[in-house]
Chain A
Amino acid sequence: MDEAKVTVYRFDPTTDKEARYQTYTVPAGGWKDLKVLDTLRYIRQHLDGSLAFRESCRQYQICSACMMMVNKKLSLACEVMATPEMLIEPAANYTLLKDLIVSFHRSGKEEGI
């Protein structure tokens, strides 16, 4: 399979009344042998420049900026390998700010993986 179907949670509080899911078709160069974060970068650069997500260390799997739900499992997007079918959602139980961006401050205490 050369194309991946990537469904991403989208919500922009300045324009959207409610969240929606958007499915992107990603060619092999955007996901094969790559991490989920690489695929999101591909989508943002080539398919939809309005997508927002956090990233920093990109590959060290240490900063936890890219913590999110990959197929309903809390993950670091820079750790998990991309697959031909994925559902990407913001980290559950945190305040949603936009798309895959959440606030990690919760009742004064910061948490992470």
Chain B
Amino acid sequence: MNRTNDPELSCDVLIIGTEAAGAKAAIEANLAGAKVLVVTKGLMGRSGATVMAGAGVQAPLGHMDSRDNPDVFHLDMLKGGAFLNNQKLLDRLVNLANSEVPKLEKWGSVFEKTEDGKFFQSQLPGSSYPRTLRGVGGEGGVQWRKGLKAEIKRQGIVPMEDFFVTKLLTSNGEVAGAMGISLPEGRLVTIRSKITILATGGCGQLFLKTDTPATATGDGMALALDLGAELMDMEFHQFFPYHCYGPPVLAGFPVATLRYSLRAKLYNSRGEEFLERYMPLSKAWGLRDPTSRAIFIENKQRRGSPHGGAYMSVMHLPANLIRESMKFVMPRLMAKTEKVGFDLTQEALEVGPAVHYTMGGIRVNEHCESTVPRLIAVGENASGMDGAERIDGGPAITWCLTMGYIGGAEGAAKAMKLDWLPVDEGQVVAERDRLEKLLHRNQGITGFDLKEKIKNIMWEQCGLLRDKASLEEGLRLIREVKKNDLPRLSVPSSSKCYNQGLVSAIEAENMLKLAELALTSAGMREESRRSHYRTDFPVADNANWLKNIIVKQEDGRYTYTTAPPIVIKFEPPHEEISEENYG
């Protein structure tokens, strides 16, 4: 870290994160006339989860079925989320979806359209009507990236890339800016802002098996937590069932389209279509978490595939039909399987659960404001949109675009009425010293190793099947890591140029905090609700647990409270919520 030349940048609105949520916020704030600075720890379009989005993006346009509308969308989300969603926030988002999602097309994203110029929309588990707009060629994320990058460029916004924010600055409890490391030269930079928007995505990297990007280490959540902002629903992590476990040559490659478009079947090692046994109501066409759980249990009972998953096959369809539809719906998968010599008309893939999405996050109101003044959170960084589970088919991108709109436009309007806050030098000096010390501590445990430890603990103790014993053991192990490993967290090299050991160490610190919140919240919630499944409390308990668990840091300790979710439109049902009551 360069001590003598710490530059100070200033802006009206600082946005941390450049993918769908951050890019949309930057575009809207810029359109509203604010001076915008948008930063990312990676490269725009080459980091984050947006580009990996496969299915599409939801908007209740009703182009395929005119019965769809924002209220139907809202209720679908509540049913999927088992009524823990914030209805005030959700109501704004479902209504904004119809204006904000189609904007992507104007900006350059190419959608699947019908012959009469309407958006093609498909129906995925959890949606009452076809609602998922699709990127052309079955690659939504690539199209969303294209449109957003083009519009960012058109507006003359130049993202500051390879910039890792390590601290938010405060002034009398309000956010006054941020500090971060410019990675190419290891320079510590101070940024002053009037409004700060967090858009750093989820924290799927907490778990051993995950299909989330390497960047999803929950940085924004940890930054907000450090300031005393409230986080909510941290026990809810989505397990995606269609992560490719094998063959090794295809491991990790996105294959879920086979399930969504061709209704691929899942078999256990006995050739049984086992999902129907777990999900009779939805006839095996259930949401992600019960499907993941079913695969996991089949493996525990020794009916899994060699790599620990289930067999996923489209062989119930004629070979020419498979080839023909793959050509249009999933050309990338088709090219890939051809390249590696894997014939989907003859063989099954192996798929299984991987953590995919974070329902929990920073607690925000319907203006995307956190509980700390001048701090906004959008997209997967925030919570309240999805409740206990996000339904399939692309609402995550919908939240990025609609919350990006709210955060960007409203954040800019607020910023332009505000002044910069004075920042006392003490915070800046303390952060510089902290990083300096870390950089030069070359003996101990590295961030790479610490992350692996956390990921194993979380997968084993806070995974698909939880109970009191596993959660308590997980918490014990995490606290042990905190006590024994955290003080000797080290960085293998003191180089100032792209020091990934340093980045990894800070990410591991962030992850450690969030792991503790997840384990504690999951231990408190003595019931099962969607993604959170307790074998010792296997049913949803509406009488006691129709509540969100909220946590914040106070005087160096985490304090947990509960509050009923905000209800404005749809009364939660009083009867028991079935594991697959999706309407």
Contacts and interface: CB of A to CB of B under 8 A. Distances in A.
Contacts of B253: 59-61
Contact of B215 (A33, A56, A61): A56
B446 A56 contact: no
A49 B495 CA distance: 11
Given A55-B214, A62-B52, A63-B51, A50 B495 contact: yes
B500 A56 contact: no
Interface stretch (A8-16, A18-26, A86-94): A8-16
B444 to A, nearest CB: 11
Contacts of B47: 56, 63, 65
Residue of B52, B249, B500 with most partner-chain A CB within 10 A: B500
A104 B44 CA distance: 11
Contacts of A112: 46
Contacts of B446: 45, 49
Interface in A31-46: 33-35, 44-45
Contacts of A45: 446, 448-449, 452
B213 A58 contact: yes
Interface residues of B, number: 39
Contacts of B48: 56
A52 B492 CA distance: 12
A8 to B, nearest CB: 14
A104 B159 CA distance: 14
Nearest to B451: A45
A28 interface: no
A98 B211 CA distance: 27
Given A14-B495, A54-B43, A44 B500 contact: yes
Contacts of A34: 248
Contact of B497 (A65, A97, A104): A97
Interface string B252-292: 11100000000000000000000000000000000000000
A101 interface: yes
A63 B45 contact: yes
Interface in B194-221: 211, 213-215
Interface in B179-238: 184-186, 211, 213-215
**Number of contact residues on A: which range applies?**
20 to 34
A28 B404 CA distance: 45
Contacts of A50: 492-493, 495, 501
B141 interface: yes
Contacts of A74: none
Contacts of A63: 45-47, 51-52, 213
Given A57-B52, A61-B253, A98-B498, A104 B452 contact: no
A97 B498 CA distance: 8
B52 A60 contact: yes
A45 B47 CA distance: 21
B125 interface: no
Interface in B534-551: none
Contacts of B249: 81
Contacts of B500: 44, 51-52
B42 interface: yes
A95 to B, nearest CB: 11
B251 interface: yes
Contacts of A57: 51-52, 213-214
Given A12-B497, A81-B248, A97-B184, 10 more contacts: A14-B495, A49-B491, A50-B501, A52-B499, A52-B500, A54-B43, A56-B47, A60-B253, A63-B51, A97-B498
